[in-house]
Structure 1
Amino acid sequence: MRKTKIKVHIFFQLLVLTAFWSCNSGERGEEREATVGPGQIVLVFEDSVTHQFFRQRKALFKYMDDNMLPVEISFNSDESSKDLIINTKRGSLDLVYRDNSQVEFTYYLQNGDSILILEKDKKPWFESVKKESSYYTYNLELLRNTELYVKSHSKAQDFYFLWNETKTFPFELDMNEDLRRNKEEAIQGFQKELYWIDSLGKEGLISEEVKAFYISKNRMEQKKLEAYDPESLDINTQTAINSFLEKDNSLLAPRVFLDEFSELIITNQTELDSKALLDSLIASGELSSNEKSLLFHYLQKEIPYLSFKEADEVLVRYGDKLANPAQLVLLNSSNKALQGVEPDIELMGLQKSSITFEEILRQKKGKYLYVDLRAAWCIPCIKAFPASLALNEAYKSKGVEVIFLSVDDNYKFWEEVANKYDIAIPEQSFVAMNKDESEYLKALDEALIPRYLIFDPEGKLIHPNAPRPDTEEIRDFLDSLIDP
């Protein structure tokens, strides 16, 4: 089951590269000396109670680092109770707050800022420690919702919430009219917000720089909203692309909003459409920062579904077009990490015979192995069994063998399912016995099943996300291996 977006566990690594935590004495933030060095932004929690509030809300902060890579900071560990020092060479950055109540705010921070983070009326509240500023400077979007909408969410956020609910859980009732109305209210809300932001600037409550940022973000959000079609429940990617590639987006690059807009476009395009778009942009000359963002998200989406050889070829073709070498390193990281992990899976076969996955690779040396990674409770996995069996039958005389590898907890249940669906094939059907301890399965993220792996005749993994067994793509790929 191909996911539109794979959750690659990279944010911790990015956090290590781009931020570090300083010691927190446990005193109130405003009573401590907030030392800000050159090229730094410091965020200080008021106290442990404030941190606990964020932790209970499953809150996170997100920003773009200087390599145009997203960094997420969650509050699920004791480390996150310490002050955060963000190192950046940029004059400013935007910090996005989200939590499980669907609340979202963007905070505009400037290099050298030292910010005290408080909890106020069940919402995050930012105050400058060292410089005088109005509350609007650091809490503009929260106060916008309070003053313009008298609620926790903006009109646009209401629309996106309804859109996502309708897409995820289709209602029996027709929701198109509600979506149309909410979209229109959101557009009217954006116009209302523009006047409000302008009035704050005229009254001297925000600086011209802060005003310019939020006005640019507002206008771009309007254009993004135009791409959402309440009738078809689809996103018009061409409309989105036209808005995204406009030349007047410099104040938003690199920002979280534009990065996520870029990701939205690529997520909702086919691979062929995205490739055609990027090839045409590359042919037109040097890529802009926004075009490079599209390229990065295209590669991030596609590379996990390529063989290692194909991924290397794609990165050679496009790597020098990315914003910086750090993006290339990140795109390479998951494949390189997986290639460096030993397949430490302990297995049990039929009649409770024990074997390791490494022993299977040695025994099957000389054959290509198509590993059907599945679980007995997984309905999509079960539906694909006939195709895997047909693939095994069609290619077994050509040096390809299908291995059924299950990640179940219950051996008896696995055995019953294997027998029921005719995949109880001696020396080809196994269940993992150490799925919680296996570093290899953790690296693979066995939660994303069904998943298909291909090993070469030497026992080396060559494809970490092979095409499904019922596709022409897998037969084309296997044929290219057998008869290159």
Structure 2
Amino acid sequence: MNGKLYVFIILTILGMVCIGHTNLYGQKDIVLLVKDAPDQSRLQNDDGSYSGNTFYSDLTYLDDAGVVKQKRFKAPTDTMRITVNRPFVEIGMQFKGIEEAYFLLKNGDSIDVTYRNGFPYLSSRVNRNLTYSYNLATDIPNRTNSKNFDVLTLMGDNMFYYKMLQKNPNHTKLCPSIYKDYCNPFDLAPQQEKFIAALKDTLAANGSRIDNGFYSYYTYHMGWRTSMWEMTQTIYGIKKISNILSIINEESAEYLSYRRLLRYAFISPAICKSEWKVKEKQGFSYQYDKIFGHIVSLNLPPKSRNILLEFCVEGVVEGGSAAQIKALTTKFVEVTGNKRFVEKQLMEAEVTFESGDKLNLIDANGKATNLDEVLKRNRGKVVYIDFWASWCGPCKAALPHALQLREEFKGKDVVFVYLALNDKREPWKAAVAKHKVGYLAESYLITNSRSSDFLTKMGVELIPRYLLFDKTGKLTHANAPGPEGKTIRKELRQLLGL
């Protein structure tokens, strides 16, 4: 075979592998090839403190069922696939734990993701014009401040400090350094207007370079920015939007950013109503069934209404009881007919409706058991149970103390059992490995956290929470001390007869 022809064939095959493709189900993939991604979970302020979100996602998008998918890169250099049937997909990418930057992507593309001053830059491997379209808004002047944050982010986040400073000018000391030059968000409004005008001019001058899908998206984006600023002022009581229904745009229902705007406009004010909030031992919970009924009563267009009702389902699935979840998801299917969304939500949240007195568990290998069996197997030993979760900050803060406690009682007739409550399998397994939870201990994931009668009977609502059983399997302390103090050591010694 001719050498040049051979090289051409090899390069062609490699090119086919590198670009987006159609999978076995007829769906197309968007392939993101991420290189040297910085840590986007937080931002270090000038005073050394940090701002940001511990529970961030590097990448967010909507799947075809309308479920929000949140992904984190496994390493700074990673490959990620988005599989959907839509021709375009809007994604959100986290920036320094403060901002979610939105990009519209063309299905079937393979995209290199690199970073400029920490901000994502997207390059198509298929078409140079797609690279231009992806970064069109990013490259326009007046979008950012000196720290590369979008002016809209600063206007929205800084409204809180602006209102605080109106009440007490001395609160300026509490304002994070990223905001201190912008303590009056209204000073930034002209910059936002300049950016929108420049984006409009760029679209007019370069319309031939971009696909109609991108042209429509950026036209929508200009209106979205204006509406977000108006809603920020409305929520903080600066002014009231004249016609809230004017923000409804059914054609934008598949955009993440549109969902954010709807939440701002209809859900945020709703959950602030005192009659729809229930005071708990720590903070508040929300009566999503009442919020659901309120949304239905507004007679909104179906796509926008359904998005708002999805927020209610997401809320109750995240923190509701089995009975609450069943009731609201049933209502949701009756109103929207979207059973697939409910099924995917329950699957993503790993919610089951197993009821009964038993507390059902699985270990890291997926082997099923229950608390009764664990206690029976360890009869003749003291059992110290720690309810925790991978998402629980106070729980994880206590884990180094728990490790020290286990080391101190190593070789004694005491068993340490860690039970993850309302957790998901993969984050739980990762946290167990990271914090050495399985070392000198037994570790399980509770599979019926929402419906176990045992948890209700014991009043296990807030975590961390600890139980102590003697050698006969009798519960001796239903609210035992945590691992960090002298008290638990004294109680363990007493039960061990030391």
1:223 to 216, 223, 227: 227
Amino acid at match of 1:328: V
Tell me the C-alpha RMSD between the 2 structures: 5.2
Where does residue 253 of structure 1 map in the other structure?
253
> Which aligned segments of 4 or more residues in structure 1 are displaced greater than 6 angstroms?
29-32, 164-172, 176-181, 372-375, 410-413, 444-447, 462-465
* 1:190-209 equivalent positions in 2, closer than 5 A: 190-204=192-206, 205-209=209-213
Q: Distance in 1 between matches of 2:292 and 2:229?
A: 23
For 1:432-467, what per-residue CA distance to the aligned partner results, in whole angstroms no more than 9, with x for missing partners? Answer: 9222xx3557569999xxxx98864xx586999869
Give the conservation status (yes or no) of the 8 Å contact 2:316–2:324.
no
Deviation at 1:93, TM superposition (A): 1.5
Question: CA, structure 1 residues 112+282, in 2 after alignment: closer, same or farther (shift >3 Å)?
Answer: same
Match of 1:144, SS?
A: coil
For 1:19-51, what per-residue CA distance to the aligned partner results, in whole angstroms no more than 9, with x for missing partners? Answer: xxxxxxxxxx98964243364243342xxxx53
Match of 1:140, SS?
A: coil
Q: Distance in 1 between matches of 2:98 and 2:125?
A: 28
Where does residue 60 of structure 2 map in the other structure?
62
Where does residue 392 of structure 1 map in the other structure?
none
- The reply to whether residue 433 of structure 1 matches residue 447 of structure 2 is no
For 1:341-383, what per-residue CA distance to the aligned partner results, in whole angstroms no more than 9, with x for missing partners? Answer: 7255668xxxx972588xxxxxxxxxxxxxx9799xx9x99xx
Q: Distance in 2 between matches of 1:65 and 1:466?
A: 32
Where does residue 96 of structure 1 map in the other structure?
92
Give the conservation status (yes or no) of the 8 Å contact 1:306–1:464.
no
Q: Distance in 1 between matches of 2:187 and 2:105?
A: 29
* 1:331-346 equivalent positions in 2, closer than 5 A: 331-333=345-347, 334=349, 336-337=351-352, 339=354, 342-343=360-361, 344=370
1:34 to 19, 28, 37: 19
Give the conservation status (yes or no) of the 8 Å contact 1:60–1:74.
yes
Where does residue 211 of structure 1 map in the other structure?
215
- The reply to whether residue 141 of structure 1 matches residue 137 of structure 2 is yes
Match of 1:36, SS?
A: coil
Where does residue 354 of structure 1 map in the other structure?
382
Where does residue 156 of structure 2 map in the other structure?
160
Give the conservation status (yes or no) of the 8 Å contact 2:20–2:107.
no
Match of 1:202, SS?
A: helix
Amino acid at match of 2:111: I
Match of 2:261, SS?
A: helix
Question: CA, structure 1 residues 319+196, in 2 after alignment: closer, same or farther (shift >3 Å)?
Answer: same
Q: Distance in 2 between matches of 1:247 and 1:228?
A: 13
For 1:93-143, what per-residue CA distance to the aligned partner results, in whole angstroms no more than 9, with x for missing partners? Answer: 112211326454321112333323333454322222222417541112321
Q: Structure 2-normalised TM-score?
A: 0.57
2:112 to 108, 112, 116: 116
Where does residue 81 of structure 1 map in the other structure?
78
- The reply to whether residue 329 of structure 1 matches residue 343 of structure 2 is yes
Question: CA, structure 1 residues 224+320, in 2 after alignment: closer, same or farther (shift >3 Å)?
Answer: same
Match of 2:91, SS?
A: strand
Q: Distance in 2 between matches of 1:460 and 1:85?
A: 39
Match of 1:142, SS?
A: coil
Match of 2:64, SS?
A: coil
Where does residue 269 of structure 1 map in the other structure?
270
Tell which has more relative contact order, 1 or 2 (C-alpha 8 A, sep 6+): 1
Give the conservation status (yes or no) of the 8 Å contact 1:267–1:301.
no
Where does residue 402 of structure 2 map in the other structure?
409
Q: Distance in 2 between matches of 1:42 and 1:194?
A: 28
Give the conservation status (yes or no) of the 8 Å contact 1:197–1:211.
no
Q: Distance in 2 between matches of 1:223 and 1:117?
A: 29
Sequence identity (%): 12
Give the conservation status (yes or no) of the 8 Å contact 1:98–1:105.
yes
Q: Distance in 2 between matches of 1:172 and 1:432?
A: 55
Q: Structure 1-normalised TM-score?
A: 0.58
Match of 2:129, SS?
A: coil
Count residues with an aligned counterpart. Answer: 362
Q: Distance in 1 between matches of 2:340 and 2:162?
A: 37
Where does residue 304 of structure 2 map in the other structure?
290
Question: CA, structure 1 residues 31+153, in 2 after alignment: closer, same or farther (shift >3 Å)?
Answer: farther
Match of 1:108, SS?
A: strand
Q: Distance in 2 between matches of 1:76 and 1:167?
A: 39
Deviation at 1:57, TM superposition (A): 4.1
Q: Distance in 2 between matches of 1:238 and 1:312?
A: 39
Q: Distance in 2 between matches of 1:163 and 1:75?
A: 32
Give the conservation status (yes or no) of the 8 Å contact 2:58–2:94.
yes
Where does residue 324 of structure 2 map in the other structure?
310
Deviation at 1:240, TM superposition (A): 7.7
Question: CA, structure 1 residues 151+57, in 2 after alignment: closer, same or farther (shift >3 Å)?
Answer: closer
Question: CA, structure 1 residues 442+70, in 2 after alignment: closer, same or farther (shift >3 Å)?
Answer: closer
Give the conservation status (yes or no) of the 8 Å contact 1:43–1:117.
no
Match of 1:433, SS?
A: strand
Higher alpha-carbon deviation: 192-201 or 305-314: 305-314
Gaps of 5+ in 1: 1-28, 358-371, 382-405, 414-430, 469-484
Amino acid at match of 2:198: W
Amino acid at match of 2:78: S
Give the conservation status (yes or no) of the 8 Å contact 2:59–2:72.
yes
For 1:391-429, what per-residue CA distance to the aligned partner results, in whole angstroms no more than 9, with x for missing partners? Answer: xxxxxxxxxxxxxxx99728989xxxxxxxxxxxxxxxx
Question: CA, structure 1 residues 297+433, in 2 after alignment: closer, same or farther (shift >3 Å)?
Answer: same
